Chains A and B, each alone.
Chain A
């Protein structure tokens, strides 16, 4: 049974500041929740199923997930070592490097896409180099991957860096005195102990990759990822056609991220 009196007493004895904060917080939560919720319930399950059966939609969603996953793998291999170095060492110019890592978050992503074209376009430096290896970026999946990588890597690096910082350096010291090489100390001690932060950073990076639109569109309008497809359908056919795709994308992401968050949380607790 709900003890109304106890709840009433608690609310009345709460200080005014907390009541105000609670109300303000409720507004922003509703602001996030309401649009997603209304859109999701205003499309019928049969409509969603029909949309999913269209090959174009299913492959766009899968491509989003796949390309973002590739970007995350590349980001993991290149970003984790940097995160570790930044967590363990202080050096002049460290602030500049940390600022550089945050840069993709603050610049407009369409501009980021254009900047990437200037390096990875076939006529440009890396673009022509990769072309000789048979890898092209513009209008190709690798283009989608680097666009996603560019805009989402800060999330993984920052989260992993915080995770490594929380690992006492003396744990590595003890491991070393016990005979572990620097590599062994890293893989047996530092990495497992920071895994919670690393995993949640990985999830964030993947999520950010999937949701990317601006930078991807500049490099590769085709093959179409889900966010581009939503935009294309909205432009060509209007809201009713765009919505089911959007809902499907949101649902797919939601299921995956809730699952991963739960795992990350459990890991962090251990």
Chain B
């Protein structure tokens, strides 16, 4: 288990403070945050590449905060691979094994094993400069895995991969993790990537950890405006939660009353994901809790999906498929109905 306690690290002129989280054995843990939030710096301080101001890092019960980085047994892969270009692929992969008092036989076996695992046998005698991006990334991963690390740190492993191979690489990472069950911390700014890979996600922003939880939890229930915005929730309102005449909760914003499911009361935020809002030209069946009529003020075409801005008021952003747009023949300035479940409204 990896335990990070009250860690603070210098980030340029700023200080990242109170960084506390743990990663369970075999867990795939994703650190999610915008560019400049200090994700890489945090990763580097766990690896020991950057000194920490205070706090504690322990790996499997061993305090490594002040341990020399070469003794930590952590595999580290940078986003742009950083291969040793003066060495062959084989020597890159076996680089970490030569200090570990192994015989030539043991080194060869270890290299063969990891090469087999990643399916890169045919690349062994090549030079790094002759490799494609995807191949380079596998070598960087193999190099980190060859030392049998206690912890694997991946710095934006998918951001340098071109979009077409991205999904395949994502799947490979997932499969690799399922086979090895190696405790992993993966850093990214892409929440789809975080959702797809993470067992748990920690959202990093403004120099601290804002929220930690399962992907579903974070996606459905962001605990702050920062997280909601970062996950492209789009509809974030500030309003008042009150008791409804029927004894339930309503969220009042700009004269509209949204039925919500919450025990909280008072001045709060509500967020609704754009894909949770249903758009139709006909009025919905009566008795539907959250149903509003509004005018389409803007249509933003993203190809296969379309973002509609509908002013009720308040202004909602809804996500629909291109097919729906064409079937309904929607245009700007049209009047439409929007509906969503009370449970689709997240209160924080």
A interface list, Cβ under 8 A from B? 168, 170-171, 173-181, 184, 188-189, 192-193, 270
B53: interface (CB < 8 Å): no
B126: interface (CB < 8 Å): no
B86 pairs with A170, CB closer than 8 A: no
- Give the contacting residue for A270; candidates B70, B86, B147; CB below 8 A: B86
Minimal beta-carbon separation of B182 from chain A (angstroms):
15
A178 pairs with B147, CB closer than 8 A: yes
A171 and B82 contact, Cβ closer than 8 Å, known pairs A179-B96, A179-B100, A181-B70: yes
A189 and B84 contact, Cβ closer than 8 Å, known pairs A178-B96, A179-B100, A180-B99: yes
- Within 8 Å CB of B74, what residues of A? 177
Minimal beta-carbon separation of B272 from chain A (angstroms):
42
A193 and B78 contact, Cβ closer than 8 Å, known pairs A173-B44, A173-B49, A178-B143: no
Q: Tell me the complex Cα distance, A177–B146, Å.
A: 12
B322: interface (CB < 8 Å): no
- Give the contacting residue for B99; candidates A184, A189, A193, A270; CB below 8 A: A184
- Within 8 Å CB of B236, what residues of A? none
Minimal beta-carbon separation of B294 from chain A (angstroms):
51
B348: interface (CB < 8 Å): no
A177 pairs with B69, CB closer than 8 A: yes
Give 22 CB contacts A-B under 8 Å. A171-B82, A171-B84, A173-B76, A174-B78, A174-B84, A174-B143, A176-B49, A177-B47, A177-B69, A177-B70, A177-B74, A177-B75, A177-B76, A178-B99, A178-B144, A179-B99, A179-B147, A181-B70, A184-B99, A189-B84, A193-B84, A193-B86
Q: Tell me the complex Cα distance, A174–B93, Å.
A: 12
Q: Tell me the complex Cα distance, A181–B210, Å.
A: 36
Minimal beta-carbon separation of B139 from chain A (angstroms):
12
- Within 8 Å CB of A181, what residues of B? 70, 99
Q: Which residue of B lies closest to A184 (CB)?
A: B99
B72: interface (CB < 8 Å): yes
Minimal beta-carbon separation of B277 from chain A (angstroms):
45
Of A174, A181, A188, A189, most B-chain CB atoms within 10 Å: A174
The 5 closest A-B pairs by CB, nearest first: A178-B96, A177-B76, A179-B99, A179-B70, A173-B49
B95 pairs with A193, CB closer than 8 A: no
Q: Which residue of B lies closest to A175 (CB)?
A: B95
A177 pairs with B72, CB closer than 8 A: yes
B108: interface (CB < 8 Å): no
B113: interface (CB < 8 Å): no
- Within 8 Å CB of B73, what residues of A? 179
Q: Size of chain B's interface in residues, with CB distance under 8 A?
A: 24
**Quick one: CB contact mask for B47-91 with A, threshold 8 Å, 1 for yes?**
111000000000000000000011111111010001011100000
Q: Tell me the complex Cα distance, A41–B100, Å.
A: 61
- Within 8 Å CB of A174, what residues of B? 76, 78, 82, 84, 143
Q: Tell me the complex Cα distance, A178–B49, Å.
A: 12
- Within 8 Å CB of B48, what residues of A? 176-177
- Within 8 Å CB of A176, what residues of B? 48-49, 69-70
Q: Tell me the complex Cα distance, A180–B70, Å.
A: 6
- Give the contacting residue for B82; candidates A170, A179, A188, A192; CB below 8 A: A170
Q: Which residue of A lies closest to B99 (CB)?
A: A179
Q: Tell me the complex Cα distance, A184–B97, Å.
A: 13
Q: Tell me the complex Cα distance, A205–B276, Å.
A: 71
Q: Tell me the complex Cα distance, A179–B74, Å.
A: 9
Minimal beta-carbon separation of B181 from chain A (angstroms):
21
- Within 8 Å CB of B70, what residues of A? 176-181
A-contacting residues, B224-280, CB 8 Å: none
Q: Tell me the complex Cα distance, A176–B78, Å.
A: 13
- Within 8 Å CB of B84, what residues of A? 171, 174-175, 189, 193
- Within 8 Å CB of B95, what residues of A? 175, 178, 180, 188
**Quick one: CB contact mask for B99-142 with A, threshold 8 Å, 1 for yes?**
11000000000000000000000000000000000000000000
Q: Which residue of A lies closest to B129 (CB)?
A: A270
- Within 8 Å CB of B86, what residues of A? 192-193, 270
B69 pairs with A170, CB closer than 8 A: no
Q: Which residue of A lies closest to B146 (CB)?
A: A178
Q: Tell me the complex Cα distance, A181–B143, Å.
A: 17
Q: Tell me the complex Cα distance, A207–B74, Å.
A: 46
- Within 8 Å CB of A173, what residues of B? 44, 47, 49, 76, 82
A-contacting residues, B14-46, CB 8 Å: 44
Q: Which residue of A lies closest to B140 (CB)?
A: A174
Of A179, A189, A192, most B-chain CB atoms within 10 Å: A179
- Within 8 Å CB of A270, what residues of B? 86
- Within 8 Å CB of B96, what residues of A? 178-180
A-contacting residues, B128-174, CB 8 Å: 143-144, 147
- Within 8 Å CB of A193, what residues of B? 84-86
Q: Which residue of B lies closest to A168 (CB)?
A: B82
Of A178, A188, A189, most B-chain CB atoms within 10 Å: A178
